Amino acid sequence: MALLDRHAASRDAYQAIRQASADPFSVRFDSVISPTEGVINGQRTILLGTNNYLGLTFDPDCIEDSVRAVREGGTGTTGSRIANGSYDGHVTLETALKAYYNRRHAMVFTTGYQANLGVLSSLVGRDDHLLLDADSHASIYDGARMGHAEVTRFRHNDPEDLYKRLRRLKDAPGEKLIVVEGIYSMVGDVAPLKEIVAVKREMGAYLLVDEAHSMGVLGANGRGLAEEAGVEADVDVIVGTFSKSLGSVGGFVVSDMEGFDVMRVVCRPYMFTASLPPAVVASTVTALRKVQETPALRHKLHANAKHLYDGLTNLGLATGPNCSPIVAVTMPDQAVAIGMWNTLLQNGVYLNLALPPATPDNRPLLRSSVSAAHTPEQIERVLEVMEKVSREFGLLKDEPKRALA
């Protein structure tokens, strides 16, 4: 057996998708010209699947600070912080995160994936228990797998189910760490955090919230779902990313836990990888300041999300349970999902094709992520194209609501 034969089933599935038309997992942009627009095959395309919630990737101040940092500090750090030391920027960024979240400890990772990998594999160990929401991101599952704690899943967004599973573990030795996400990445639904906090308190567990998709999006100061739900004091650990609202790359963890700094010498995904380069750190520091100083960005984001969510729902498409900057439409089957995705792209709209098992309930999704930088005209154009294409694929039965120019 050849080494890659073990992946035969995945290879065949991938081949079938590619034969249907353009390859949804290898889209190539000729260029990306703004947070909301790119060029694909010479055609200007609206970007509606890039998690660029606040549109800060082209913010002039972020760019200027990034350029200055690369000139002053070079293109890379060429090593990890425990081996090569920290740059001033790493410390500045961690200080800014501590101040923003009002927490005693902050640690920066090279990616959001590594932040989850590191925290979940190091914070709990043998005889401890991880309780993961069933719809958790792959990085949470992988972090759980890398560590030595026993792993139990609970039904998605179901505090009673969590309670039941914690009750079964009440006589088991070791600590319990509950892991949830602020906004779930596939359909944009939000964790019932107040209820989960109540369970955590009653059962004596710790709580970690991954705010990857909710940082900069929820809360009066953009700190995420914990802030919005008013339960920050009950959240022991917050994990997040720089690659969405902050428009760069990297991950972080903040906590008030006594002695948290020991993580810097036990957490392998922190220790054994090169640290973030100066240019990335600099734009991230500036973006974090913008998130705090510019609540208007969040207001614009939510107005755009509502515009798209209401528009798609009114068309009669199967949108998710609540309006959020992630707007997903459930597709009847994979063939329609792939066909729709391709036709949307041909009509200048790029969004994400999400296929099982990465989706809840084994249903294919067309997943959009809205940005504060989208104009109302862009959203309107997307709605026109969606209506036209949905009608072509037989998803809409009633009379046209919009005329496509």
Partner 1 sequence: MDLITNPTVLEVARAAEVVLGRSVHVTAASDISRDLAVDSLALMNIVMELEDRFDISIPIDRLSEVQTVGDLSSLIDNIRNKA
Question: Which residues lie near partner 1 (CB under 8 A)?
Answer: 129, 134, 144-145, 149-153, 155, 164-165, 168-169, 172, 356-357
- Closest distance to partner 1 from the beta carbon of 144 (Å): 8
Contacts of 333 (CB under 8 A, 6+ apart): 364
What is the Cα–Cα distance from 385 to 341, expressed in whole angstroms? Answer: 11
Comparing CB distances to partner 1, the nearer of 172 and 262 is 172
- Closest distance to partner 1 from the beta carbon of 168 (Å): 5
Which tokens is 26 given?
């290898």
- Closest distance to partner 1 from the beta carbon of 141 (Å): 9
> Would you say the C-alpha torsion 373, 217, 243, 369 has a positive or negative sign?
negative
Which tokens is 221 given?
């100061």
- Closest distance to partner 1 from the beta carbon of 97 (Å): 31
Residue type, 270: Y
> Would you say the C-alpha torsion 123, 224, 370, 245 has a positive or negative sign?
negative
Comparing CB distances to partner 1, the nearer of 72 and 127 is 127
Type and span of the H or E element at 335: helix 334-346
> Are 333 and 374 in contact, with CB atoms under 8 Å apart?
no
- Closest distance to partner 1 from the beta carbon of 131 (Å): 10
What is the Cα–Cα distance from 221 to 217, expressed in whole angstroms? Answer: 9
- Closest distance to partner 1 from the beta carbon of 307 (Å): 34
> Are 131 and 120 in contact, with CB atoms under 8 Å apart?
no
Contacts of 56 (CB under 8 A, 6+ apart): 35, 62, 245, 246, 247, 287, 290
Comparing CB distances to partner 1, the nearer of 104 and 167 is 167
Contacts of 384 (CB under 8 A, 6+ apart): 402, 403, 404, 405
DSSP state of 319: B
- Closest distance to partner 1 from the beta carbon of 147 (Å): 9
- Closest distance to partner 1 from the beta carbon of 126 (Å): 11
Comparing CB distances to partner 1, the nearer of 19 and 362 is 362
User: How many Å from the N-terminal Cα to the C-terminal Cα in the chain?
Assistant: 55
CA atoms within 13 A on the CB side of 149: 29
Comparing CB distances to partner 1, the nearer of 259 and 357 is 357
Comparing CB distances to partner 1, the nearer of 59 and 135 is 135
